[in-house]
Chain A
Amino acid sequence: MIIAEAKPNSELLEMVSDCSKVLVVGCKGCVTVCNVGGAKEVGVLAATLKIARRRQGRTIAVDEVTLERQCDPEYVDEIKDRIGDYDAVISIACGVGPQFLSERYPSARVFPGVNTKFMGGAVAHGVWEERCAGCGQCVIHNFGGICPIARCSKSLQNGPCGGSDHGKCEISKDVDCIWDVIVRKMMSQGRLDELLKFRPPKSWTTSRDGGPRKMIREELRI
């Protein structure tokens, strides 16, 4: 799923400093699962904004709504009758949400309430890690089912580099060297010879480098 984290309250307050009526829009998708943009967080943010404003000696009206998904026009449509009532909208979905909102409602001012971090999952309660870089051409089977594109700091395909130190990456002792993990796993499976093959430069045309991406599946179109 997509992992996001809340923006600091001070940043959000600054964004809406000239607004007196705001709609906070949550999403029941990924951001609900990673506890940053669901109905609960919508309520918390609304209350926070009101309290902070009161401390400044001003008031702000904040309404709340949480959509099934903000990355789907069908659900984005659900606020069409009320969006005109607000000076601004704060979306606390991933970066897709505020963009779908601003595309659907061109006259609305839409602010992002969270920072979208990465595609990954929860490895423990309250701990999320990146797993996928969305390069568009999956090659993890060559690396013991582990993605060096997303998880090696240098995205090396013929790693590990000389900075691998006791299983840790040279950039920080808090970062695992994923190539250490890959090598050990391939050794344990008796497949080390596969890693010894030279991996030629990858085509990045399917990644962001090839330009903004779009996918069409004809069989699903109506």
Chain B
Amino acid sequence: MSEFKSGSNLEKVLRAGHFAFTGECGPPTGANVEALKKKAAYLKGMVDAVNITDNQTAVVRMPSWAASLIVMQEGVEPNFQMVCRDRNRLAAQSDVLGIYAHGIRNMLCLSGDHQKFGNHPDAKNVYDIDSMQLIHTVKTMRDEGKFLNGQDIDVPPKIFIGAASNPFAEPFEYRVHRLAKKIAAGADFVQTQCIYNMDRFREFMKQAVDMGLHEKCYILPGVTPMKSVGMALYMSRSVPGMDVPEDLIKRLRGAGKGKVAEEGIRFALEQIEEFKEMEGVAGVHLMAIEWEHRVPEIAERAGMLPRPSV
């Protein structure tokens, strides 16, 4: 029957034309399974799949594949993230086989933050292949049933392939072309960096639509509610490639004591409303960083519930 590439829930939701809703969950900095299960419980039924980050910000954590298996046991579909920083092409391909063997069907291919930003800045980095090449590798493994060296794979992994895109990094004019390149390399869906500058994102999406990219790939803009003015300032000043307009910071400041988080959520909800109507947008990726317990409320207020079952 179906020509599903992976048969994952996320793929089915998108294919059925539903407005997708994905979440995010960072594995613990230890083997704290209970903490992870608790986070997963907040997300269960609220989103179509949950990104499980891979040593994000170059901080050592429980591996993405292991945390993905745990959330899967809790009834949450994982979107396994893989960064190129920590593994060469042997490990990358091997891990793809491993996650598929255990039932993981979504994967997000990333370069990964430089180790300088993390808690092991003395480390060597790998970057044997880059995110573009990783996307292409997984596609080749899936569609041609071959490893990078051309050898046949005994039962190829059927993975729904994700890529990231940052519409705000420089040079702005090139960003949409890089997205197109990722799609040509094999990306089935794209999740973007957190969007705050809506003007710029509208322009980016218009370019993407003009190029027909939304017809080749599902595009899910990233939304991260601001919890505080401090977080907004930090994002604006210290996170590379993050574009936080001054107006938003003013708006959060103006919310008054104790009400900033609510204002942050309101802004996120307004964004989601606009994304629902925006041409070429297939869903939203909600990155409620260390705020998993607020996801049910946000999902409810955003009109995202119940999630479709497909």
What is A's interface to B at a CB cutoff of 8 Å? 201-205, 207, 209-211
Residues of B within 8 A of A204 (CB): 122-124
Question: Contact at A211–B122, with CB atoms within 8 Å?
Answer: no
Complexed CA–CA distance, A203 and B115 (Å):
12
User: When chains A and B are docked, how far (Å) is the Cα of A211 from the Cα of B124?
Assistant: 10
Tell me which residues across on chain A come within 8 A of B122, comparing CB atoms: 201-205
Q: B116 an interface residue at 8 Å Cβ cutoff?
A: yes
> Which A residue's beta carbon lies closest to that of B126?
A209
Q: Which residue of A lies closest to B123 (CB)?
A: A204
Query: Total A-B residue pairs with C-beta atoms closer than 8 Å?
Result: 18
A203's nearest neighbour on chain B, judged by CB, is B122
A201 to chain B, nearest CB (A): 7
Docked Cα-Cα span, A202 to B122, in Å, equals 7
Residues of A within 8 A of B124 (CB): 204, 207, 209
**Smallest CB separation, A129 vs chain B (Å):** 23
- B107-128 residues with Cβ-Cβ distance < 8 A to A are 114-116, 121-125
Distance of A174 from chain B, by nearest CB (Å): 23
Chain B residues engaging chain A, CB cutoff 8 angstroms: 114-116, 121-125
Chain B residue numbers with a CB within 8 Å of A205 are 116, 121-122
**18 contacting pairs across A/B (C-beta < 8 A):** A201-B122, A201-B123, A202-B122, A203-B122, A204-B122, A204-B123, A204-B124, A205-B116, A205-B121, A205-B122, A207-B124, A209-B115, A209-B123, A209-B124, A209-B125, A210-B116, A211-B114, A211-B116
Question: Bound state CA distance, A213 and B124, in angstroms?
Answer: 15
Report the nearest A residue to B122, measured CB to CB: A203
Q: Which of B121, B123, B124 has the most CB of A within 10 A?
A: B124
A24 to B116, CA, bound (A): 40
Residues of B within 8 A of A207 (CB): 124
Give Cα distance in the complex from A213 to B125, angstroms. Answer: 15
Q: How far is the CA of A137 from the CA of B116 in the complex (A)?
A: 17
Cβ–Cβ < 8 Å partners of B125 in chain A: 209
How many angstroms from the CA of A211 to the CA of B85 in the assembled complex? 13
Give the distance in Å from the alpha carbon of A144 to the alpha carbon of B121 in the complex.
Answer: 28
A201, B121: Cα distance in complex, Å: 12
Q: Which residues of A contact B114 (CB under 8 A)?
A: 211
Q: List B contacts of A210 (CB < 8 A).
A: 116
A210 to B116 CA separation, bound complex (whole angstroms)? 7
Q: Smallest CB-CB separation from B125: which chain A residue? A: A209
What's the Cα separation between A195 and B122 when bound, in Å? 23
